[in-house]
Structure 1
Amino acid sequence: MDLFAFPPLALLLDLTTRALLALTTALEPVTAGAAAAVAVVVVTLLVRLALIPVGVSQARAEQTRARLAPRLRALQQRWKGNTERLQRETMQLYRDEGASPVAGCLPLLAQAPVVGLLYAVFLHPTVGGQANALLAHDLLGAPLGRSLVAAVTTGTADAGTLAVFAVLVAVIVAAAELTRRLLRPAVAPAAPAWTTPLFGALQFTTAVVALFVPLAAALYLTVTTVWTLVQRVVLRRRYPLPA
């Protein structure tokens, strides 16, 4: 079932497509055939700019959680036989400090609708009863509406498509590796030892996702990954974790 068949979502899909087409048209005199891809990059940057306050809040919360780690361990020792009381005391501690144990999920939740809309825009051959003109655009010969997996399975993966996806995935992997090395996660005190390598491995899941989504969405993920790395490095210096 297509969720975008429902009138409110169909209208949102139509408005998003029209906005991207208008931006593409405006960029064509400067960027020529890459106008639609550049439009996706511009939209990505606008979204990331709007999410800067969320990133700052996340950095503060991460710093607070790391600072509270000794007190959380003390609570876990004191109430280890009373799960309900431990949860209550833990949440009270976070409230007293103005922090949240789920603050790290906010950026993902905030940008999920944008990724979903981009995914939908470049998957629908018709939008608002008309042919989706964005599907006629490409990036260096790679169609913006086709994923690498779809191109390979249908036998339409030419050298240009493979090269574009290879560059995007390489950038995502490089950013993920730098994130893993430069930004150690603030792991919860009670977390098992195996969670640390797991968090490191999770940094690379975006590269896998980029293989399955349309090129436009993969482009969004690439720009987002690089932006997030730079932003977190800057904010980590502003809000360093306790040694």
Structure 2
Amino acid sequence: MDIFAFPPLAALLDAAYSGLIALADLLEPAVGVSAAALAVILVTLLVRACLIPVGVSQAKAEQMRARLAPRLRELQARHKKNPERLQRETMKLYTDENTSPFAGCLPLLAQAPVVGLIYTLFLRPEIAGHPNALLAHQLAGVPLGTSFVGALGRGSLDLPTVLVVGTIVAIIAVVGELTRRAFRPTVPAEGPLASSGAQRMLGALQYLTAVFALFVPVAAGLYLATTVAWTLAQRVLLRRRHPLPAA
């Protein structure tokens, strides 16, 4: 089933296509065939700029969770034999503090539709019944609709594709490592997350985006690389403005 056959979604996809084509045409005299790649990066920056207020609320939520951590540990120790009571008391604590354990998740959810749109724009040979001109655009000689895994499966993987996708994956992985080092999670004294194996698994989650970039078109990979770099820079700045309480 093609969800973009649904008229509202088809219209949204066509509007996104028209906007990206218009921006690429505007940039083409300056950067040539890489215009669409630069357009994707600029769109990413625009999306992230619109999400700055959400990022601020995310930093405040992280600060609040760190402040509540000692009280949560007290509740866990007091009611560890009564899970239902522990859940009630935990939710009451969050309610009293006018926050939520899920606060700060919105940036990830808000970006999902944008990633989906870019993924679809560089995957379909036709958009709203007309040829998809975006597929003719390239980055360093690699079509923006090319994915590493797709090219490998077709037997068409070449050196330019390896270099372009490898660079994107390397950028995401380096940013992930910097993020892991700069924002190490607090290790609980006990519980399922206290084991070294659980901590290694949580650390590995930073690199899932890099693995994901191997499966999506180069254009979507550019979006991912740009957004993780923005996220790291934004978190560093906001951590200074909203520091966590001393341990």
TM-score range, shorter chain: over 0.9
Contact 1:14 1:128 (C-alpha < 8 Å) held by counterparts:
yes
Aligned residues: 243
Q: Aligned pair 1:32/2:35, yes or no?
A: no
**Residue number in structure 1 paired with 2:108:** 108
Q: What does the per-residue CA deviation read over 1:65-105, in whole Å, with 9 as the maximum and x for residues that have no partner?
A: 11111100111122223322221221121122232211242
Contact 2:57 2:104 (C-alpha < 8 Å) held by counterparts:
no
TM-score when scaled to structure 2? 0.93
- Counterparts of 1:1-243 in structure 2 under 5 Å? 1-186=1-186, 190-194=191-195, 195-242=198-245, 243=247
Q: Which amino acid aligns with 1:27?
A: L
Counterpart secondary structure, 2:184? coil
| 1:196 shift after superposition | 2.7
| 1:240 shift after superposition | 1.8
- After the TM superposition, which of the residue ranges 124-133 and 156-165 deviates more from structure 2? 156-165
- After the TM superposition, which of the residue ranges 167-176 and 196-205 deviates more from structure 2? 196-205
- After the TM superposition, which of the residue ranges 193-202 and 224-233 deviates more from structure 2? 193-202
Q: What does the per-residue CA deviation read over 1:140-175, in whole Å, with 9 as the maximum and x for residues that have no partner?
A: 111111111111221222221111111111111110
Q: Which runs of 4+ in 1 moved over 3 A?
A: 186-191
Contact 2:122 2:219 (C-alpha < 8 Å) held by counterparts:
yes
CA–CA distance in structure 1, aligned partners of residues 140 and 103 of structure 2: 38
Q: Which amino acid aligns with 2:193?
A: P
Counterpart secondary structure, 1:185? coil
CA–CA distance in structure 1, aligned partners of residues 184 and 126 of structure 2: 45
Contact 2:122 2:145 (C-alpha < 8 Å) held by counterparts:
yes
Q: CA RMSD in A?
A: 1.5
CA–CA distance in structure 2, aligned partners of residues 188 and 27 of structure 1: 50
Gaps of 5+ in 2: none
Identity of aligned residues (%): 62
Q: What does the per-residue CA deviation read over 1:119-151, in whole Å, with 9 as the maximum and x for residues that have no partner?
A: 111111111110011011110111111111111
CA–CA distance in structure 2, aligned partners of residues 103 and 167 of structure 1: 33
